[in-house]
Amino acid sequence: MQFALLPLAMVTSLRLTAAEIARAIAGRVEGDAAVIITGLAPIDQARPGDLTFVAQPRYFSYIDKTPAAAVLVEQNYSTTPANGVVLIRVANPYFAFLQIAKNFFQPPASWTGVHPTAIVGENVRLGENVVIGPHVIIEPECAIGDNASIGALCYIGRGAQLGHRVVLFPQVHVAYGVHLGNDVIVQAGSVIGSDGFGYVKHEGAYHKIPHIGAVVLEDGVEIGANCTIDRGTFGETRIRRGTKLDNLVHLAHNVEVGEHTVIAAQTGVSGSTKIGNRVTIAGQVGFVGHIEIGDDATFGAQAGVTKSIPAGITVSGYPAREHSLARKEEAARRRLPELLKRVRALEKALAQIAPEALEKIDDSEV
Question: Which active-site residues does the annotation give?
Answer: 253
- What is the C-alpha to C-alpha distance for residues 249 and 284, in angstroms, rounded to an integer? 8
| Options 15-23, 25-33, 73-81, 106-114: segment touching its own copies (CB under 8 A) | 106-114
Is residue 60 within the footprint of its own copies (CB under 8 A)? no
Binding mask 71-100 for its own copies (x = CB under 8 A): -----------------------xx--x--
- What is the C-alpha to C-alpha distance for residues 239 and 214, in angstroms, rounded to an integer? 11
Is residue 23 within the footprint of its own copies (CB under 8 A)? no
The answer to whether the beta carbons of residues 275 and 269 sit under 8 Å apart is yes
Interface pick for its own copies out of 35, 80, 200, 314 (rule CB under 8 A): 200
| Options 16-24, 60-68, 77-85, 107-115: segment touching its own copies (CB under 8 A) | 107-115
The answer to whether the beta carbons of residues 180 and 174 sit under 8 Å apart is yes
Residue number with CB closer to its own copies (28 or 125) = 125
Is residue 199 within the footprint of its own copies (CB under 8 A)? yes
Task: Give buried/exposed letters for 311-323 (b at 16+ CB in 10 A, else e).
Answer: eebbbbbeebbeb
Which residue pairs, CB below 8 angstroms and at least 24 apart, start in 100-103?
A: 100/21, 100/24, 100/25, 100/40, 100/51, 101/40, 103/24
Please, which of residues 345-364 interact with its own copies by CB under 8 A?
345-350, 352-354, 357-358, 360-362
| DSSP-derived secondary structure letter, 141 | T
Residue number with CB closer to its own copies (23 or 344) = 344
| Options 16-24, 28-36, 67-75, 119-127: segment touching its own copies (CB under 8 A) | 119-127
Kind and range of the H or E run holding 207: strand 205-208
Instruction: Count Cα atoms within 13 angstroms, Cβ side, for 279.
Output: 28
| Options 27-35, 69-77, 78-86, 152-160: segment touching its own copies (CB under 8 A) | 152-160
- What is the C-alpha to C-alpha distance for residues 112 and 126, in angstroms, rounded to an integer? 13
Residue number with CB closer to its own copies (171 or 298) = 171
Interface pick for its own copies out of 93, 163, 258, 276 (rule CB under 8 A): 163
Is residue 177 within the footprint of its own copies (CB under 8 A)? yes
Please, which of residues 214-273 interact with its own copies by CB under 8 A?
214, 216, 220, 222, 224-228, 230, 234-235, 242, 244, 246-248, 250, 252, 260, 262, 264-266, 268, 270
Task: For the chain, give the number of residues.
Answer: 366
As a dihedral over the C-alpha atoms of residue 159, residue 165, residue 169, residue 171, rounded to 10 degrees, the angle is: 10
Interface pick for its own copies out of 152, 215, 217, 297 (rule CB under 8 A): 152
